[in-house]
Amino acid sequence: MPDTIEDRISAEYPTLSGQLRRAADFVAANPVDVATRSLRAMAQSSGVSPATFSRLARTLGFEDYESLRETQRAAMGERLVPYAQRAEELRRGDQAPQTFLHRQAGVCSQNIALLERTISGERLSAAVDALHDAGKVLLVGLLGSAGIADYICYQAQYFARNWAVAGRSGSSLAASFASMSPGDAVIVLTKAPYARDSIRAAQVARANGFRTIVLTDSHTCPALEVADHPFIVPSQTANFFSSYTATLVLIETMMSMLVSRVGPEAEARIRATEEQTRQLTEV
């Protein structure tokens, strides 16, 4: 069974009717309301009938809507208070620099805490196994995810020779895929608004038998439908732009796990890379 309510929604989303999708979208977008308000209040706010929310809960594998609500309450935990505090700060309109820092740092901390609670060790290990066993690993990141993909590849190349970023150094996405074989791995990073080429890359990767890992921010991301290893990463922000903080924590965790599995040859490559870096930067 998927780890969170949003994971369950993403797994069932392609098969949901229009009304159930409306209910699912509301549940995913309003976790605090789900955890704290009655079914009747939810129905009034959303325009979706109580019966539809109850039907959604059963479709997602819950006994009833109350079971879904209790699960959301447990998942929210201490996040309920910080949301209220942030709302109060926004209402006061405090423009002090320290307030901006406190607000953004608080949201990012909550994202990381939620990531830690909701990503199971089994799911994480399965994705790392796919990366470890792959002959090649290709990273796909466009729009705001482009710099993150470059950073991951830069880090991976310290201990591995088989990682690359798709569509870099003048090559096209198609050329990047042409050098791949079944059993290789593709990591797709995409957040709203989802780049069409990123979604297409995930679909092509799956069709060609590549192990597909998708890191995204919502159950509505079309790439989740074809992911072997889907991850919906908390990306809330006090800024105008989706936060990548928790995504980086997840990625860096995967990197650490990979290094621990590769063994002495990885350590030797890291030492050699560090030595070359030292020589190149010596004055």
Q: Which of 21-35, 54-68, 225-239, 255-269 has the least mean pLDDT?
A: 255-269
Res. 181 pLDDT band, cuts 50 70 90: very high
Quick one: 32 and 158 in the same domain?
A: no
Given 77, 97, 130, the domain boundary residue is 77
pLDDT for the residue 31: 79
Q: What is the pLDDT of residue 1?
A: 44
Residues 175 and 249 placed together within one structural domain of the fold: yes
With a cut of 60, say whether residue 158 has pLDDT above it.
Answer: yes
Looking at the structure, do residues 156 and 216 belong to the same domain, yes or no?
A: yes
Same domain, 159 and 265: yes
Predicted local distance difference test score (pLDDT) of residue 57: 94
86, part of any domain: no
What is the extent of the structural domain holding 131? 121-281
Query: 249 and 179, same structural domain?
Result: yes
Q: Residue 268 CB: number of other CB atoms within 10 A?
A: 11
Read off the CATH number of the domain in which 232 is found: 3.40.50.10490
Based on the fold, state whether residues 268 and 154 are members of the same structural domain: yes
Q: Give the end of a domain, one of 18, 50, 77.
A: 77
Whether residue 191 sits in one domain with residue 61: no
Question: What does the chain look like in DSSP terms, one character per residue?
Answer: --SSHHHHHHHHGGG--HHHHHHHHHHHH-HHHHHHS-HHHHHHHHS--HHHHHHHHHHTT-SSHHHHHHHHHHHHGGGHHHHHHHHHHHHHT---HHHHHHHHHHHHHHHHHHHHHHS-HHHHHHHHHHHHH-S-EEEEE-GGGHHHHHHHHHHHTTT-SSEEETT-TT--HHHHHHT--TT-EEEEE--SSPPHHHHHHHHHHHHTT-EEEEEES-TT-GGGGG-SEEEE-----SSSS---HHHHHHHHHHHHHHHHHH-HHHHHHHHHHHHHHHHHH--
Is 97 a member of any domain?
no
In this structure, the answer to whether residues 72 and 125 fall within a common structural domain is no
Q: Is residue 92 assigned to a domain?
A: no
Q: What's the whole-number mean pLDDT along residues 39-52? A: 90
84-127, pLDDT tens digit by residue? 454 455 555 556 666 778 878 888 998 898 888 888 888 899 99
User: Does residue 217 lie within any of the structural domains?
Assistant: yes
Is residue 35 assigned to a domain? yes
pLDDT tens for 190-206 read 998 889 999 999 999 99
Residues 140 and 192 both lie in one domain: yes
Are 171 and 58 part of one and the same domain? no
Residue-averaged pLDDT of the chain:
84
Q: Which residue has the higher pLDDT, 105 or 73?
A: 105
Any domain includes 82? no
Confidence bin at 216 (pLDDT 50/70/90):
very high
Q: What CATH number did the domain enclosing 59 receive?
A: 1.10.10.10
Residues 38 and 162 in one domain: no
- Domain identity same for 137 and 227: yes
Number of domains in the chain: 2
Whether the pLDDT of residue 76 is over 70: the answer is no
Share of the chain above pLDDT 90, in %: 43
Residue 43 domain-assigned (yes or no): yes
Whether 102 is covered by a domain: the verdict is no
